[in-house]
Each structure stands twice: as structure tokens, then as C-alpha cells.
Chain A
Amino acid sequence: MPSPAPVVAGRDHTAQELYDRVAALGPSPFSIEQRTRALDRFISLRSGREKPGRFWRVDFESVAPEARAIDLSAANVRVENNDPAIFVCDLATAARESPELFARAFGTTGIAATKFGSLAAAFAQCGVFVHVPADRACDDPVVIRYTAPAGAAIFPWSIVLAERGARVTIVERLEGGAGAFLCGATEVVTEERADVHYAALQQVDDGARIIWSRAARPGPEARMSWASAELGGELAASDLSVSIEAPGAEANLTAIFFPRGSQHVDVVSTVEHRAGDATSETIVKTAARERGQARFLGNIRIAPHAQGSDARLRDDALLLSPTAHVDSVPALEIGANVVKAYHGATVGAIDAEQIFYMESRGLERGAAERMIALGFFEPAIERFPTAALRDEIRASLAAKLS
């Protein structure tokens, strides 16, 4: 009986195909050597997304793209930007023409140290670099849109450098056809007193898979806001993280997700308070319906010297069907003693008293339930930028509720 011999010792057949693909890639933004090491890490690292139970359908340790689906020319990247003072370009151009600016942000957040951040690094090719010069305040959002054709695997990488005192809103739209695989990364560096509001709207096809890592480093008295709505995908995983290394920073993290049908969504938020006198607020609203599965892990870590930190974490889950699953785990590690740390969580079905109250005002049961469920998301929706984007999210959630 022939046993499948590994092509290279320690690497199975699929892995070898991935290494072959990496070897064929260009050197930007990562060298072949860096890419190969990143792929090593992807293969050897654990995801940190262990299955909370046997009913859990997805095992992240075995999630990988198919080598032959990797088609780096297939990614469609579009950017809308109305402010001529904001510099937007692809990664190769940024590395060539503004190497000093590019190096201040690219690869500085530690994203490429995680399992899926490493996968994104191994194949990174398409991407967008956004540079907002000092003290520039931009009101119109910069919109970045990545689209993967059906069946294709793409690996986008977004980088934002907001210099001191700059302010910008960025909306990242993620789209993909059936069978697509998107594995991307977003790095944001906000320098002193800069203010970046970064919203991600993930609406890939319900037959696509998407895994995205997002990390930010706010400078002294800078503000960083992540807001992510994971609305599509048969499998969606998202990391939102902020590492506070300078005092006076403010971090706002917001996540909305709502698996239904056989969707599976996994969100990890991480706030590292490595410097004191900084505040963070994380708000997560999850609903699950039908056989949808949602997992949330909320990390707050306050270093022993980060006195005066103020960290809040609020996560609420709404179970809309008895067959849906939500697993929500807060993880607070508090090393300092002069801190304010708050965690609050709820999991449950819609309250029968709320339904009766609305019915007694003439609303049909289904309409009442939809209104209550939409209201449940509202405190998180309100933290997204632009009225149009908020309305789009409401409409998208309403469609998932009907």
C-alpha cells in the first residue's frame, strides 16, 4: 500500500505547493526569504482560536488556501480619495518612492508574528499605502475596496501612516465571490495627537472565506478607532488589536457580527495597555441565527507599569435560534494597581416582555423581533463613521434578520 511520502521532510504535499508559490513571487513588499519564513510560521504556529466544543464546525488549525487558487493578479483594488494632500499608492510604489515614510508604518505592528498574519505576509502583493501628512484633517473618508473573484485566493495588505496631528477616516470594503479566500492585513500607525477612524465592512459571498488581521499603534495622545462589521462569508475571522505604547492615547474598538445559516464568525479583540494614562473602550455586539456560530475573545492586558489605564469591554450576544451558538470569552490581565477596568457581558434570547410591549403597540411579532434585534446592534452601529455607512450596515443587518 503506497503511503503518501512527503515531498520535503516535515512538509506535506499541500504545504510544498504553497512553498512553490511563494518562491515564484516578487520581492515586494516582502523578500522571498521573509515570505518563506512567514510561511514557516503559518504552518508551525497555532491559531489561538481553539474550538470551544465538539459542536464547533471550524478547526482553524487546518484552514489554508488551496495553492492553485492563489492568483495574485486576480485581486481588484480600488481607492476613492478626494483629498489631494493625502498620498495613496500601491505598496511597491510606496517602498520605492517614499521608503522612509513607508518604513515608519509597514511591518511595525507585529501582525506578521501571528499564524494568519504570517499567511498574509507570505503572499502579500496587492495593497494600499495611505499617508496623511501632519496636521491634515480630512473629512471625506478614503475608501479602499478589495474584491476577490469567485474561487480566487488573494492577500491584500493595507498600511496607514497618520502623522502628528492628522485626522482621517478610512472605510475598507471587502468583497469576494463564492469560493474566494481572502487573507489580509491592515496596519495603522497614528503618530502624536493623530486621529484615525478605520471602518471595515466585510460583505463577501456566503460561500467565501475571509481572515483579516488588523493592528494599530497609537502615539502619544493619539486616537485609534477600529470598527468592523463582519456580515458575509461561510467562515470569517477577524483580529482587531491596538497596542498602546504612549501615554494619553485613546483606543476604540467596535465589532458587529451576525452569523446565520451555516456561517461561522470568529473575532478576537486585543488592547495592550503598555503605557499608562490611556483609555480604551471595546464594544462588541453579536447575534446568531439558524446554525450560525460566533466566537468572540476579548483580550485586555494592562502592563504592571501602565498606571492610570482605563479599559472598558462590553460584549453582548443575542441568540435568535436554539440551534445557533455564541461563545464569548473575556480575558482581562491587569498588572497595574491604579487602573479602571470594566467588563460587562450578556448572552440571551430576546426578552419576552420587550416583544409583548411592542406587540401591544400594534407591531407584529416578527416586526417587533426585528426592531429589537436591530436596536441591539445600534450602540455599535453608532460608532461607525458616516451616516451612509451606518444606514448601509442597518440595511444589511435588517436583511439578515428577515
Chain B
Amino acid sequence: MPDQALRITNLRCQIAGKEILKGIDLTVDRGKIHALMGPNGSGKSTLAFAITGHPQYEVTGGSVELDGEDMLALPPDKRARAGLFLSFQYPAAIPGVKVANFLHAARQAERPGDLPPAKFRALLMEKMEQLGIDPSFMGRYLNDGFSGGEKKRVEMLQLAVLAPKYAILDETDSGLDIDALKDVGSSIAALRASEEGRNTGFLIITHYPRILSYVVPDVVHVMIDGRIVKTGGHDLAHRIEREGYDKLREESAVVA
């Protein structure tokens, strides 16, 4: 019976010769919600890119396994097809590629031939409605001229349509107003209630604990300076809300 988890072991990563991740251990089980918190510049996005295979992020040690399969040996598209999804902190704009066409291509790549076009369209309409995305977005160029909030909603739309095994959400909450946060929360809840998304494991990267009132985590990790310095339950998020990161930083400095 293979391991049903996204298992990150002693992961080290550098950018342009500078070590950013200094040995990360973190395991996300299927169906569980993990939050990864930490101050700006602590290495959260670096972890997301190292897991998903961004070419600029050089992994220098450790391993990433998805349900027992070595991810580090695969190019990014194969990692995605193995069931990994990243919602980008800053999604790229692709002028000339329509949202609907791209979503269809992505779904086809990850689940070849599973939905006839009419069914796919219906799925898209349903998910767009859930996320409060206007149907006119289908014909717009992907992320091109979108506001920050629109980009994040369309990232969530892709999450909903692809229903991956593991989803990493990198600061999906930043720049969103309360209504948008609620939509993100209910879209994730709907995914978790669906047949396809029932077992999706989440790694929700966030700077502020705000989103965690809408998507309640099972486990909270805190990253400071390229290391996980603390792991706990939901109450850890509340503690950060009250105290900020400084106290944890001091504690971890003593440990390190």
C-alpha cells in the first residue's frame, strides 16, 4: 500500500547560489488541510516552486514524494499530471490564450478524454458561478489585464476544474476582500464535498491568518528563515494573530 501523502523530507533549495530552504520536513496527508505561515521572505514561495519544479529553483538535497512517487525526477508538467497543483502568488498573463481554451487544454492534459466538451462547459459554468466569476471571463485572455482579485479567482477556478490530489495555494488570500475570501472558502468546501476533490490534500501558504477562518486547517506550520520552526493545531494560527512572528523568531533563534 503506497504512502497516501505529499511527503517532503529534508528539502534544501537554492536560488542563484543562495541557500533559501535549509532542510524542510513536511507531510500533507490526502484529504487534510495544512497551513504554512511565515513572515515575508522566509521561503514559503520557494518551497512551493521547489515542489512543483520551477527551473530557477535548484534543489540541492532531500526528497519530495507524491503518494510514493519521486517528484524531483520529473519535469513540471509530469508533476502536475501526477496530481500536483500550485495556485500562484503572481500568476503569469498569457495574452491571446482564452481562459476557456486553456482550462480545457489543462483538463485534457491531466485527465485525457474524461469529459465531452458539453459536459466540460457545464462544469466550467457551475464552478464559475460558485466563484462569482462572470461568464464573459471564458472568452478573455488568461490573466491578461485581470485585477489581482480576478487572477486569484481564476486560479481557484483552475483548482476546482482540475481537482488535483494535492493543492498548494500560495497567498491566494493576499489582496482579496472579505467577499472574495468567502468565495474562495466556499469553492474549496465545494471541492472537498465533491467526488473528485474529496481526498485533496491542501498546503495553504499565507502571511496572515485571515483565510484560516474560511478554510480551517488541521495542521499549522510556521516557517522562518528557510526552516519549519513550529508545527501545531489551529490554535497556532491564533497565537500568531495575537503575537506576530517575533516571539517565534526569538524562540527558533535559541533552538538554532
Interface residues of A (CB under 8 A from B): 351-354, 356-365, 367-368, 371-372, 374-379
Q: Is the beta-carbon distance between B88 and A357 smaller than 8 angstroms? A: yes
Interface residues of B (CB under 8 A from A): 52-56, 75-77, 79-81, 85-86, 88, 91-97, 102, 105-106, 109-110, 141, 158, 162
Q: Is the beta-carbon distance between B162 and A361 smaller than 8 angstroms? A: yes
Q: Please indicate the chain B residues that have their CB under 8 angstroms from the CB of A358 in the complex.
A: 94, 102, 106
Q: How far is the CA of A351 from the CA of B52 in the complex (A)?
A: 18
Chain A contact residues, majority secondary structure: helix
Q: Is the beta-carbon distance between B80 and A362 smaller than 8 angstroms? A: yes
Q: Is the beta-carbon distance between A376 and B92 smaller than 8 angstroms? A: no
- A-B residue pairs in contact (CB < 8 Å), sample of 6: A356-B54, A363-B105, A372-B97, A375-B95, A377-B96, A379-B96
Closest to A372 in B: B94
Q: Please indicate the chain B residues that have their CB under 8 angstroms from the CB of A365 in the complex.
A: 75, 77
Closest to B111 in A: A362
Q: Is the beta-carbon distance between A353 and B92 smaller than 8 angstroms? A: yes
Q: How far is the CA of A376 from the CA of B97 in the complex (A)?
A: 8
Q: Please indicate the chain B residues that have their CB under 8 angstroms from the CB of A374 in the complex.
A: 96-97
Closest to A376 in B: B96
- Count chain A CB atoms within 10 A of each CB in B52, B96, B106 and give the residue with the most: B96
Kindly provide the distance from the CB of B80 to the nearest chain A CB, expressed in whole angstroms: 4
Q: How far is the CA of A371 from the CA of B52 in the complex (A)?
A: 21
Kindly provide the distance from the CB of A23 to the nearest chain B CB, expressed in whole angstroms: 52
Known: A356-B76, A360-B52, A362-B109. 16 other contacts (CB 8 A): A352-B55, A352-B56, A353-B92, A354-B92, A356-B55, A356-B92, A360-B85, A361-B80, A361-B102, A362-B110, A363-B109, A371-B94, A372-B97, A374-B97, A375-B97, A376-B95
Asked if A364 meets B77 with Cβ closer than 8 Å, knowing A372-B97, A375-B97, A375-B141, the reply is yes
Closest to A373 in B: B96
Q: How far is the CA of A358 from the CA of B54 in the complex (A)?
A: 11
- Count chain B CB atoms within 10 A of each CB in A352, A375, A377 and give the residue with the most: A375
Q: Please indicate the chain B residues that have their CB under 8 angstroms from the CB of A367 in the complex.
A: 105, 109
Q: How far is the CA of A263 from the CA of B136 in the complex (A)?
A: 39
Q: Which of B92, B105, B109, B110 contacts A357 (CB 8 A)?
A: B92
Q: Please indicate the chain B residues that have their CB under 8 angstroms from the CB of A375 in the complex.
A: 94-97, 141
Closest 7 CB pairs of A and B: A375-B96, A378-B96, A362-B109, A375-B97, A361-B106, A359-B76, A362-B80
Q: How far is the CA of A102 from the CA of B102 in the complex (A)?
A: 49
Q: Is the beta-carbon distance between B75 and A354 smaller than 8 angstroms? A: no
Q: Which of A354, A363, A372 contacts B77 (CB 8 A)?
A: A363
Q: Is the beta-carbon distance between A359 and B97 smaller than 8 angstroms? A: no
Kindly provide the distance from the CB of A73 to the nearest chain B CB, expressed in whole angstroms: 44
Q: Is the beta-carbon distance between A378 and B95 smaller than 8 angstroms? A: yes
Kindly provide the distance from the CB of B139 to the nearest chain A CB, expressed in whole angstroms: 11
Q: Please indicate the chain B residues that have their CB under 8 angstroms from the CB of A360 in the complex.
A: 52-53, 76-77, 79-80, 85-86, 88
- Count chain B CB atoms within 10 A of each CB in A360, A374, A379 and give the residue with the most: A360
Q: How far is the CA of A379 from the CA of B144 in the complex (A)?
A: 12
Q: Is the beta-carbon distance between B158 and A361 smaller than 8 angstroms? A: yes
Q: Please indicate the chain A residues that have their CB under 8 angstroms from the CB of B162 in the complex.
A: 361-362
Q: How far is the CA of A358 from the CA of B77 in the complex (A)?
A: 8
Q: Is the beta-carbon distance between B75 and A359 smaller than 8 angstroms? A: yes
Q: How far is the CA of A372 from the CA of B162 in the complex (A)?
A: 20
Q: Is the beta-carbon distance between B94 and A359 smaller than 8 angstroms? A: no
Q: Which of A357, A364, A377 contacts B94 (CB 8 A)?
A: A357
Closest to A361 in B: B106
Q: How far is the CA of A378 from the CA of B52 in the complex (A)?
A: 29
Q: How far is the CA of A359 from the CA of B96 in the complex (A)?
A: 17
Q: Please indicate the chain A residues that have their CB under 8 angstroms from the CB of B95 in the complex.
A: 375-376, 378-379
Kindly provide the distance from the CB of A393 to the nearest chain B CB, expressed in whole angstroms: 13
Q: Please indicate the chain A residues that have their CB under 8 angstroms from the CB of B80 in the complex.
A: 359-362
Q: Please indicate the chain A residues that have their CB under 8 angstroms from the CB of B96 in the complex.
A: 372, 374-379
Q: Please indicate the chain A residues that have their CB under 8 angstroms from the CB of B85 in the complex.
A: 360-361
Q: How far is the CA of A191 from the CA of B80 in the complex (A)?
A: 57
Asked if A371 meets B102 with Cβ closer than 8 Å, knowing A356-B55, A362-B110, the reply is yes
Kindly provide the distance from the CB of A312 to the nearest chain B CB, expressed in whole angstroms: 17
- Count chain B CB atoms within 10 A of each CB in A361, A371, A376 and give the residue with the most: A361
